Amino acid sequence: MASKEDIRSSRRLYRRSLSKEQLAQAGESIARHGLAWARKISAGSPRTFAVYVGVSHEPPTMPLIAGLHDAGHQVLLPVCEAGRQLSWVYWTPETAFVRSDYAPIDEPEGERLDSAVVSAVAGIFMPATAVDRDGNRIGQGGGYYDRLLQHLDNSGGRPPTIAVVYDDDVLPSGAIPAEPFDRPVPDALTPSGIITLGGGSDLD
């Protein structure tokens, strides 16, 4: 079995090979399928979703973020804090972005809310560099989201959670080594549709 770092490196190499046109097409498809997932779990009512901004060659999420807002939902975006913790800011099209103090990314400016706010959202769109069919996930290596999911799991249950990846980032069962602190995810959102992990049936 390949190590997490080997898998992470191979997926990053693949992602860097994608053209601007491929990235744009992936962003549009992810938005379409992501909005359908949001509509299903919110029963068509305006709700709040936790999302993130895909940067560089990550799956683009700004079309999804804008689509959620246009559909009447509120959007929370993460901000990296000390101790590998996350705080959250409500996003609107007028939100400005500033350079993070803790990660090589730009983050939303605004009132920062504790991660407890995420326990009340309708769903969480979370980053991943790969997932396998068992629901094991590899992030960027910082551990921010594993800590968030652990907190939610220990405090009464997390909202529905879906990892955003490219189609080729979904690996066979057993491909990702699972560690005690890892938190599996039940679904993957890809440009081709929603994949139910852990033995369920895929959704278009």
- 3-state helix, strand, coil split of the chain in percent (to 5) is 35, 25, 45
The reported pTM is 0.92
Question: Mind listing the pLDDT tens digit for each residue in 42-81?
Answer: 998 999 999 999 988 999 999 999 999 999 999 999 999 9
DSSP per-residue letters across 174-186: T-S---TT----S
Structure tokens that stand for 152 in this block: 């939610």
Check whether domain 4-196 has CATH 3.40.50.10420, yes or no: yes
Q: Which residues contact 167 (CB under 8 A, 6 or more apart)?
A: 190, 191, 192
| Structure tokens belonging to residue 161 | 């959670």
Q: Residue 107: its pLDDT value, please?
A: 93
Contact of 64 with 58, CB cutoff 8 Å: no
pLDDT at 166: 97
User: In the predicted model, what is the mean pLDDT of the chain?
Assistant: 91
For the chain, domain boundaries: 4-196
Q: How far is CA 181 from the centre of its chain?
A: 18
The β-bridge relationship of strands 74-81 and 48-50 is parallel
pLDDT exceeds cutoff 80 at 204 = no
Q: Which of 123, 140, 132 is nearest to 195 (CA)?
A: 132
